[in-house]
Amino acid sequence: MGCSRFAVRSGRVPPGRGYRSEKIYLHRTHFVIQSYPNMNSRSKAEEDLRVIRSLMERATVYRAISAPTALVAGILSIFAAATIYWNNEVSPFFDRAIRGRQFAQFWIAVLMIALAANTFFVWREARNTGRPFVSSGMKLALRGIVPCLLIPAAFTAWFLSIGYKGGVELDLAVVWIASYGLALLSTQFFAPDSLAILGWIFLLSAMAIPAVNNLIEDLPAERAVLAMGFTFGLYHLIYAVCTWPRKSVSLAAEPTLE
């Protein structure tokens, strides 16, 4: 150790000491230290590619799961939009108009029910096929989806705290619609093409809503309600009808992801 310390600090070799073997030992140590991160990165990339390939092979299965989820979300959204519009514009059956915080809370409740339905459908598919509920595919999908949800989560928190005072329900709806479209598009490399198309439709709709709002002056007062009803309601119902499985999907021959 004295020889290696002297050689590294001063660059000179002490008399009577061999430096070649010590130099080779130091280089080998450096090579091993550098190799572990490279090996880990390569293994991680290979694992991600394997999961993506398996998810692509299971595109039909995920389409079969997404169709009933879209049906539930579409029915709930149509019901929520109709309830809010009728209460605010036609015949109120609540104590007050559903605006501001109540508007956001109403739609968050719809989201929670739709997520619960989707969780049930995924769990049922995993139980029927003997796959783990929290699979590698789910983890990979969440890695792509979660970043798309940070902005709407922050915007919703701001809206519930002080943003509702400005009456910006339409801005909240646009953020939700755009973020949902981006979340769907984040799965386009392994999800069915129909989900990517739906994501583009949501994203383009979110871009069009502010333009239409500025161009047309005689729009109804409940523009945010109509935007939510048309996108999360009507779009999901159309998607469910177009992608509903025509026959049962056999999964017995597919590889299991753990």
Q: Are residues 155 and 235 in the same domain?
A: yes
- The residue with greater pLDDT, 145 or 13, is 145
Report if residue 249 sits inside a domain.
Answer: no
217 by Cβ neighbours in 10 Å (0-12 / 13-18 / 19+) ranks as exposed
Confidence of residue 203 (pLDDT cuts 50, 70, 90): very high
Report if residue 248 sits inside a domain.
Answer: no
Q: Are residues 27 and 100 in the same domain?
A: no
Q: Are residues 41 and 84 in the same domain?
A: no
Which pLDDT score, from 0 to 100, does residue 44 have?
A: 59
Q: Are 235 and 201 in contact (CB under 8 A)?
A: yes
Segments forming the whole domain that contains residue 142: 59-243
- The arithmetic mean of pLDDT across residues 223-227, rounded, is 93
Which pLDDT score, from 0 to 100, does residue 81 have?
A: 95
Q: Are residues 32 and 144 in the same domain?
A: no
- Backbone φ and ψ for 116, nearest 5 degrees, come out as -65, -40
Task: Quote the CA–CA distance of 81 and 226 in Å, as a whole number.
Answer: 7
For 47-58, write each residue's pLDDT tens digit.
555 555 555 545
State pTM to two decimals: 0.71
Task: Quote the CA–CA distance of 102 and 167 in Å, as a whole number.
Answer: 12
Most confident of 12-16, 26-30, 76-80, 144-148: 76-80
Q: Are 183 and 148 in contact (CB under 8 A)?
A: yes
Report if residue 250 sits inside a domain.
Answer: no
Task: Quote the CA–CA distance of 15 and 6 in Å, as a whole number.
Answer: 11
Instruction: Provide the strand spans (E) within the chain.
Output: none
Q: Are residues 66 and 39 in the same domain?
A: no
Task: Quote the CA–CA distance of 210 and 99 in Å, as a whole number.
Answer: 19
Task: Quote the CA–CA distance of 160 and 116 in Å, as a whole number.
Answer: 23
Confidence of residue 93 (pLDDT cuts 50, 70, 90): confident
- The arithmetic mean of pLDDT across residues 146-154, rounded, is 93
- The residue with greater pLDDT, 245 or 109, is 109
Q: Are residues 131 and 208 in the same domain?
A: yes
Does the pLDDT at position 215 exceed 90? no
Average pLDDT, the chain: 77
Phi/psi class of residue 13: alpha, beta or left (left: φ > 0; alpha: ψ in -120 to 50)?
A: beta
Report if residue 251 sits inside a domain.
Answer: no
Report if residue 228 sits inside a domain.
Answer: yes
Does the pLDDT at position 253 exceed 70? no
- The residue with greater pLDDT, 241 or 13, is 241
Q: Measuring CA to CA, which residue among 83, 12, 55 is closest to residue 229? A: 83
Domain count, the chain: 2
Task: Quote the CA–CA distance of 149 and 111 in Å, as a whole number.
Answer: 13
Give percent of the chain with pLDDT exceeding 70: 69
Q: Are residues 87 and 214 in the same domain?
A: yes
